[in-house]
Amino acid sequence: MAGLRREPTARQLRLGVELRRLRDAAGLTGREAAASLGVSSAQINHIESGLTGVSEERLRRLTANYACTDEELISALAAIATNRAKGWWEEFRGSLPTPFLDLAELEHHATFLREIQFLHIPGPLQTEDYARSVFSDRIPELPYEELELRVRHRMQRKTILEGPDPTPYEAVIHEAALRIRVGDRAASRVQLATLLDLSEADHVTVRVIPFDLDGFGGSWTAMMLAGGAVPRLDTAVRDAPHTAAFIDSEAQLGVIRTLFRRVEAASLEPERSRDFIHRLAKEL
Contact indicator for 279, 139 with CB cutoff of 8 Å: no
Pairwise CA distance, residues 227 & 2, whole Å: 34
Shortest CA distance to 65 belongs to which of 40, 33, 41, 39? 33
* pLDDT one-digit tens code per residue, 174-186: 999 999 999 889 9
Report the percent of the chain where pLDDT is more than 90: 85
pLDDT in tens, 33-91: 999 999 999 999 999 999 999 999 999 999 999 999 999 999 999 999 999 889 999 99
Q: How many CB atoms lie within 10 A of CB 36?
A: 15
As beta bridge partners, residue 244 has 239
88-118 pLDDT, tens per residue?
999 999 999 999 999 999 999 999 999 999 9
- Kindly report, residue by residue over 144-171, the tens digit of the pLDDT: 999 999 999 999 999 999 989 999 999 9
> What's the mean per-residue pLDDT of the chain?
93
**Nearest-angstrom CA–CA distance, 279 and 284:** 9
Residue 242 has a pLDDT of: 57
pTM, two decimal places: 0.93
CA atoms in the 13 A half-sphere facing the CB of 7: 7
Q: Can you say how many angstroms the Cα of residue 248 is from the centroid of all Cα atoms in its chain?
A: 11
Split at pLDDT 50, 70, 90, the class of 2 is very low
pLDDT reported for residue 142: 93
Q: Which domains does the chain have, with CATH numbers?
A: 10-82 (1.10.260.40), 89-283 (3.30.870)
* Cβ contacts of 272 within 8 Å, gap of 6 or more: 208
d(CA 134, CA 128): 10
